[in-house]
Structure 1
Amino acid sequence: MDEKDTGGMYGWIWRHLPGNAWVRVVISLVLVLAVVFVLFQYVFPWAEPLLPFNDVTVDEGSGATP
């Protein structure tokens, strides 16, 4: 394994960002914030009806008595 392969996916992204380390940090933070924004604005609202959050399977009569 050569030195180029040790960074994995994040190493590849880091090497391809322009600028020095501080510029890369700022760009990385902006990219992470953009991904979080897209997830909360588009992906999670789209997926929410597909997830069974409101499907309760516990009956009132079952379980331990306090």
Structure 2
Amino acid sequence: MYAALWRLLPGPVWLRILILLVLVAAVLFALFTLVFPWVQSLIPVPDATLEQ
């Protein structure tokens, strides 16, 4: 799978690496801003209190 992705990217090796880093950053940004907050709203978190 990664070899197929590598072959699809244009340009020399340094440009392919740069494109992959930008794609990884975009995916992480989307996960942290859209997906993770949505999933957190679906998971019930009990209110835990500690008594002293």
Give the TM-score taking structure 2 as reference length: 0.80
**For residue 55 of structure 1, what is the aligned residue in structure 2?**
46
> Hey, what does 2:16 align to over in structure 1?
24
Q: Identify which of structures 1 and 2 has the higher relative contact order when contacts are C-alpha pairs closer than 8 Å and 6+ apart.
A: 2
Q: Deviations over 1:28-49 (max 9, x none)?
A: 0000000000001111111111
- Count of residues in Structure 1 that have an aligned counterpart in Structure 2: 49
| Cα separation, 2, equivalents of 1:49 and 1:41 | 13
Bigger share in helix: 2
Residue identity over aligned pairs, in percent, reads 54
Query: Where does the alignment leave 5 or more consecutive residues of structure 2 unmatched?
Result: none
1:17 shift after superposition: 0.4
Normalising by structure 1, we get a TM-score of: 0.65
Residue 37, structure 1, aligned to residue 29, structure 2: yes
SS of equivalent to 1:36: helix
